[in-house]
Structure 1
Amino acid sequence: MTPEHFQHLIADVTAAIEGRTLDAGLADFLNQRFPADGPEFRAIADACVAAVKAGWMCDREHGGIRFGRVIKPCPELAGFSVDVVEMADVAGPHHVHPQGEIDMIMPLDGDAKFDGHGAGWFVYGPGSAHCPTVSGGRAHVLYLLPQGAIEFTRA
């Protein structure tokens, strides 16, 4: 697994969602078009596992969370950035999504849930905020951020 190959996998997703509003309807679309038990979702999830093992993904750690920006916003991904975290039964730092956030939730063990959601896609709309939390096990969570926009706060 290389960063270039990973970007190619993500480009299929961003091409399908380019120009769409970040809302619950987008989450429904993603869960239908790229279901958690489908080949595209599985390919991305497997790529994350391989990339973490290779050491170029989730290459930083703080407070029990492994994380890293994998791809900066770029035209090839419709202006989205890609971040991936690995979390297990922990809450991350509070932040705001000025333009929204698209989450791909990939449980690794247990009954891992991200902010109460199991395997699949969840979308936070523009201006939303949260302390990202994984409970019930360990998971990778991939974040697509329009223009890479995120603001860490002191909730």
Structure 2
Amino acid sequence: MDVQQFQQRISRLTSEISGASLDASLEARLNADHGPGSDTYEELFAACRIGVAESWLCNREGGGIRYGRVLKATDATHGYSVDVVDMQDLAGPHHSHPNGEIDLIMPLTPGARFDGCPAGWRVYEAGSAHHPTVTGGRALVLYLLPQGSIQFTAAAST
């Protein structure tokens, strides 16, 4: 697996969801069709583990979080950028999602959760905001951001 193969795998997924509203129904659909145990989930999880090990994913670090944008939002990814973070038992910087955010939660520690959610998909609607938080161990989280749009804020801790 390399970045080009990773992009091809992401492109198959983003072509399927391109144009969909980022809402609870998309989250349910992703978990039903591409959740833990599915070929998509297992392929992406394996690719992310390889990418981290080979340092083409999560090749930056700050505040105890390893992170990095591996793919910019382009036609090849149907307008989604792809970031991956590696977090363990901490809250990340507060940010908002002007166009929404789709997260793939991949626990490296059994039972680790992201924003209270177990392994699988979490979809945030346009305009939502949060402190991304991993509890119960370590997890990789893949972020799909429409048009690569994210805004870090100076919001008070919640």
State the TM-score, normalized to the length of structure 1.
0.98
Q: Does 1:128 align with 2:136?
A: no
1:96 corresponds to which residue? 96
Q: 2:143 and 2:111 mapped to 1: Cα distance?
A: 20
Q: 2:10 and 2:137 mapped to 1: Cα distance?
A: 25
Q: 2:110 and 2:144 mapped to 1: Cα distance?
A: 24
Q: After superposition, give the CA deviation of every residue in 1:103-153 in whole Å (9 maximum; x if it has no partner).
A: 000000131100000000010000000000000010000000000000000
Q: 1:90 and 1:96 mapped to 2: Cα distance?
A: 18
- Secondary structure at the aligned position of 1:109 is classed as coil
Q: After superposition, give the CA deviation of every residue in 1:42-86 in whole Å (9 maximum; x if it has no partner).
A: 010000000110011100001110000010001011100000000
The CA deviation at 1:9 is 1.0
Q: How many residues align?
A: 155
> Structure 1 stretches of 5 or more lacking a match?
none
1:143 corresponds to which residue? 143
Q: Does 1:28 align with 2:28?
A: yes
- Secondary structure at the aligned position of 1:103 is classed as strand
Q: 2:40 and 2:149 mapped to 1: Cα distance?
A: 25
